[in-house]
Amino acid sequence: MSGMDEPLRRKKSRITIFDEPVICQFCSQDVFIPYEVYVNVEQPGIGCRHTRYIAICQHCGQAKKFGDPSYYDAEKNNYIWALNQHLLSVRKYRINILLYVGKRNNDKITSFINKLIEVFSIEVEKMSDFRGGVELQLKLSSLNEMQTIRSSIIIAARRLKITIKELTIK
């Protein structure tokens, strides 16, 4: 959504102000759910209210407060929209991984699966042994792009000294 004349929707999204992304100060993530907040800026009882936003980070839960700095440019006779909201949809992926752990080491495979569950909340559909390794079939629902998921899986495997022979994400 670009150039909005409507309030931000209460959905997981990436928000930009003048094309600069809103980033969480604590975890550096950029996925938020925005909420409108009405602020009484005058003396109590007068009833002059302004709309502000509070966006809740979907990674750490930290609240980010901001206003709408959109304005009318009289010289260009044009309204400058500051806020843009890019709604995110949860994508579903199927992941197939062929792992080699050298000598059969169930602890490494269990640690690897637990790490993936911790990071992605994956669901293990099938785990089959074959000569020298294991094949994992996983289901994942995530807001992340395929490349981010791929690199996170590879990093987790490297830390546990697991060799990935094949990694397929669909």
User: Residue 13: beta bridge partners?
Assistant: 32, 87
Each residue's pLDDT tens digit, 24-83: 999 888 999 999 887 766 666 666 667 789 999 988 889 999 988 888 888 989 888 888
Work out the mean pLDDT of the chain and round it to a whole number. 84
* Beta carbons within 10 angstroms of residue 109's beta carbon: 19
The mean pLDDT value for 9-29 works out to 90
User: Residue 124: beta bridge partners?
Assistant: 138
d(CA 40, CA 124): 51
Give the burial class of 57: count Cβ atoms within 10 A of its Cβ; 0-12 exposed, 13-18 middle, 19 or more buried.
buried
Distance of CA 52 to the CA centre of its chain: 23
CB-CB contact of 22 with 66 (8 Å): yes
% residues pLDDT > 70 (the chain): 88
Report pLDDT for 54. 93
CB-CB contact of 82 with 15 (8 Å): no
Each residue's pLDDT tens digit, 125-137: 998 887 777 889 9
Q: Which domains does the chain have, with CATH numbers?
A: 13-87 (no CATH), 91-169 (3.30.70.600)
Report pLDDT for 1. 43
Report pLDDT for 23. 93
Query: 90 Cβ partners below 8 Å, 6+ apart?
Result: 12, 141, 142, 143
Tell me the pTM. Answer: 0.53
Instruction: Using alpha carbons, select from 10, 21, 11, 18 the residue that is nearest to residue 83.
Output: 18
